[in-house]
Amino acid sequence: MAQLKEYYKEKVVPELAQRLGLSNTMRVPKVTKVVLNMGLGEAVADKKVLENATSDLASISGQKVVVTKARKSIAGFKIRDGWPIGCKVTLRGDRMYEFLERLVNIAIPRIRDFRGLSPKSFDGRGNFAMGVSEQIIFPEIEYDKVDKLRGLDITITTTASNDEEGRALLNALRFPFKGMTVDSEQTSKEDKKMESLGTDQDSKQDSEDT
């Protein structure tokens, strides 16, 4: 089981139930899916762009990517109905939690001049969206192998009934929102786990080299 999923069940659920005044823990909001999307208008002129983007997104998500196509022709952009204009992937279950864990612990801290996520980036129904300007913040992407820097949109769908519940959920999952604090005790534990993981990987690599 993904560490973040286990943390959600063991700690977030009871704490949110108390905080939101919910007597039934089944009503505690949860994340149901995460959609990663790359819009690639230039893919129309260069098919290699689409290939590289889908490769990057597959590496980031660990899942097969779907190519998105234009639904209608746009003469001004020289786009025809059915032409590929981007790619996306939808994550659920353990893979979703594993991605969120990497996003919070590794990717977001790598964003240049990061000052916190906007707590206003919700849609009124508890779902959150954020944009990333460079795919190289994700550990799966090797900077030396990318053809160009490209961004992606991340949409997190939850069962929250409103934005307040959605913010409470993601904050409990340690999303660093502006003006909101995260659980420092849990942060310390997660940091130690990440350090341990890195040490184990280094030891494994040293063993393979010898």
DSSP assignment of 131-170 equals EES-GGGSTTS-GGG-SS---EEEEEEE--SSHHHHHHHH
CB-based contacts of 67: which residues, under 8 Å, 6+ apart?
A: 50, 54, 84, 86, 87
Residue 195's CB is within 10 A of a number of other CB atoms, namely: 10
The whole-angstrom separation of Cα 194 and Cα 10 is 20
Show the CA angle centred on residue 50, arms to residues 44 and 53, nearest 5°: 140
Asked if the model's pLDDT at residue 159 lies above 70, the reply is yes
Q: Both tokens of residue 187?
A: 């942060």
Asked if 161 and 152 count as a contact pair (C-beta separation under 8 A), the reply is: no
pLDDT digits (tens, 9 = 90+) for 181-202: 665 444 444 445 444 444 444 4
Query: Domain coordinates of the chain in residue numbers?
Result: 3-201
* Lowest pLDDT segment from 22-31, 42-51, 58-67, 157-166: 42-51
Fold observed for domain 3-201: 50s Ribosomal Protein L5; Chain: A, (3.30.1440)
Q: Is the pTM of this model over 0.85?
A: no
Tell me the mean pLDDT in the region 103-114.
Answer: 95
Cα distances (Å, whole numbers) of residue 5 to 69, 98, 178, 197: 33, 8, 24, 18
pLDDT digits (tens, 9 = 90+) for 117-153: 999 999 999 999 999 999 999 999 998 888 889 999 9
Would you report the helix, strand and coil content of the chain in percent, each value rounded to 5?
50, 20, 35
